[in-house]
Amino acid sequence: MIGRRHPAFARIDHRPWPVPTRPWAWHQSWRELLFVHWPVPAAALQPLVPRGLAVQEFEGTSWVGVVPFRMTGVMRRPFPDLPGISAFPELNVRIYVEAEGKPGVWFLSLDAANPLAVRAARRFLHLPYHDADIAFERTGDDLTFASQRRGAPERFQATYGPTGPDEEAETGTLEHWLTERYCLYAQAPDGRLLRNEAHHAPWPLRPAYANLEPTTLLAGFGIEPGPGRPHVRYADGVNVVVWDAEVVPVVP
């Protein structure tokens, strides 16, 4: 198959559906990720997604995630990485949806410290990217991530790191449900529902600690996280390939 030499294809047996047969279009790596999740009723999230998408639940509730990390090696095939363009810190707010039996991710917002990447993603992927000032530092296993959206109140700050070895999440667990997703959904300006397939090896998840400052990322969506400490996991990263979008039929 075209492009199978990319390291993202080191594993394909874990996928919930087959790898697309058409050529993939983008390559990238996601590094040093913190997955922070809070339970939120699906009824509170369903109004935030377009017609044709259903917000999913795990054991009676849905979840909203905030994920700070580093993007590296971001480029469209077949072009090489470009210094100053292909690597940058990013922060996303995500919920979990499904269409045509394919569970995926719907991004409520994405913040990045790369103006060119922000504009390219808004233009070509129709994703709600925003310019942000982001500071990202690592000292040993401890990472500090601080983001402030430009000209807006949305901010996020956390110190985090792994506290144990990595392991592959078991099917049927919350960790697997939150992370093992192989497509993202977006909406084009003309209202069409779009799906971008993606592929990577299973997430090497690790137990983690996270010291979180109060965040304003969720307030603009009217989201009130559930009580108690959030669910957190850390991952060193995965290599990823992404396909161009396909239109998802929506029943009138």
Of 19-33, 70-84, 184-198, the least confident: 70-84
Residue 214's identity, in one-letter code, is P
pLDDT range class, residue 141, cuts 50, 70, 90: very high
Per-residue confidence (pLDDT) for residue 83, from 0 to 100: 74
pLDDT range class, residue 79, cuts 50, 70, 90: confident
Nearest to 32 by CA among 74, 107, 88, 85: 88
Count Cβ neighbours within 10 Å for each residue of 91-126 and write b for 16 or more, e otherwise. bbbbbbbbbeebbbbbbbbbbbbbeebbebbeeebb
pLDDT range class, residue 2, cuts 50, 70, 90: very low
Per-residue confidence (pLDDT) for residue 61, from 0 to 100: 96
* Model confidence at 221: pLDDT above 60: yes
* Model confidence at 179: pLDDT above 50: yes
Average pLDDT over the chain reads 95
- pLDDT per position as a tens digit, 88-106: 999 999 999 999 999 999 9
CB atoms within 10 A of CB 170: 8
Contact 53, 102 (CB under 8 A): no
Domains in the chain, CATH or no CATH each: 7-16+27-246 (2.40.400.10)
Per-residue confidence (pLDDT) for residue 102, from 0 to 100: 98
Residues 205-213 have a mean pLDDT of: 97
- pLDDT per position as a tens digit, 27-77: 999 999 999 999 999 999 999 999 999 999 999 999 999 999 999 999 888
pLDDT range class, residue 4, cuts 50, 70, 90: low
Residues 111-124 have a mean pLDDT of: 93
* Model confidence at 5: pLDDT above 90: no
Residue 131's identity, in one-letter code, is D
Per-residue confidence (pLDDT) for residue 1, from 0 to 100: 38
Backbone angles phi, psi at 122, to 5 degrees: -65, -40
pLDDT range class, residue 84, cuts 50, 70, 90: confident
Alpha helices in 94-225 (DSSP H): 115-120, 174-179
Residues 229-244 have a mean pLDDT of: 97
